[in-house]
């Protein structure tokens, strides 16, 4: 009655096997399917750390930031999982938020979000990147996102958040 919706979030972390990650992808797709015919569920969301090993995400992000060659086999598996989720969102017209995570794994997440937007956000915003605005670099990143959207003629989906990792980030910076 009050136009309030919900976001279904199958947010699991800490798993280590490909079987667990593939099952998590299927569960996330089930949340998208659930929202397909339910106007009270306008979005879905997932964490890449729920479908990939955190250590792999960290190594891939470090390699990306240093312009080094990333492990193509590991990256390919992760991208395929992300693509399955984003394709389900696209097919069902349910926008999907890719949650932001710790700064030391965010570089590859931002890169993969853009890849998915280039594929699925041509007519409408289906894939959304999440920006933690407590970070000093995110305003410049947001401006760059606008430029990328204009250059590539896509709908660049953005979810702005305060940021869930402030305390963890502060602790890491002090060590």
Distance CA 14, CA 91 (A): 29
Q: What is the pTM of this model?
A: 0.91
Distance CA 15, CA 131 (A): 24
Question: How far, in whole angstroms, is CA 19 from its chain's centroid?
Answer: 20
Rg from Cα positions in the chain: 16
Residue 138: both structure tokens together: 């995110």
Neighbouring residues of 73: CB distance < 8 A, sequence distance ≥ 6:
none
Indicate the SS3 state at residue 17. coil
Quick one: pLDDT at residue 71? Answer: 94
Please give the average pLDDT of every successive group of 10 residues along the chain, which has 175 residues. 77 86 96 89 93 96 94 97 98 95 94 98 97 91 96 96 73 74
Quick one: pLDDT at residue 121? Answer: 98
Residue 49: both structure tokens together: 């750390």
CA pseudo-torsion sign 127, 132, 3, 48:
positive
Quick one: pLDDT at residue 2? Answer: 82
Query: 43 to each of 90, 102, 108, 172, how far by Cα in Å?
Result: 12, 22, 23, 32
Q: Is residue 34 a contact partner of residue 96, using CB atoms and an 8 Å limit?
A: no
């Amino acid at each position: 009655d009050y136009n309030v919706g919900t976001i279904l979030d199958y947010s699991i972390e800490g798993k280590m096997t490909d079987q667990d990650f593939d099952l998590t992808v299927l569960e996330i797709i089930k949340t998208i399917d659930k929202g397909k015919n339910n106007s009270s569920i306008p979005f879905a969301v997932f964490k890449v750390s729920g479908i990939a090993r955190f250590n792999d995400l960290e190594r891939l992000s470090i390699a990306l930031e240093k312009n080094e060659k990333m492990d193509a086999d590991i990256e390919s598996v992760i991208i395929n999982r992300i693509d399955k989720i984003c394709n389900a969102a696209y097919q069902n017209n349910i926008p999907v938020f890719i949650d932001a995570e710790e700064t030391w794994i965010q570089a590859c997440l931002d890169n993969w979000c853009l890849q998915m937007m280039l594929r699925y956000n041509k007519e409408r915003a289906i894939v959304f990147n999440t920006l933690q605005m407590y970070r000093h670099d995110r305003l410049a990143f947001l401006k760059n996102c606008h430029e990328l959207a204009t250059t590539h003629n896509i709908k660049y989906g953005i979810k702005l958040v305060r940021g869930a990792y402030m305390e963890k980030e502060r602790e890491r910076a002090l060590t």
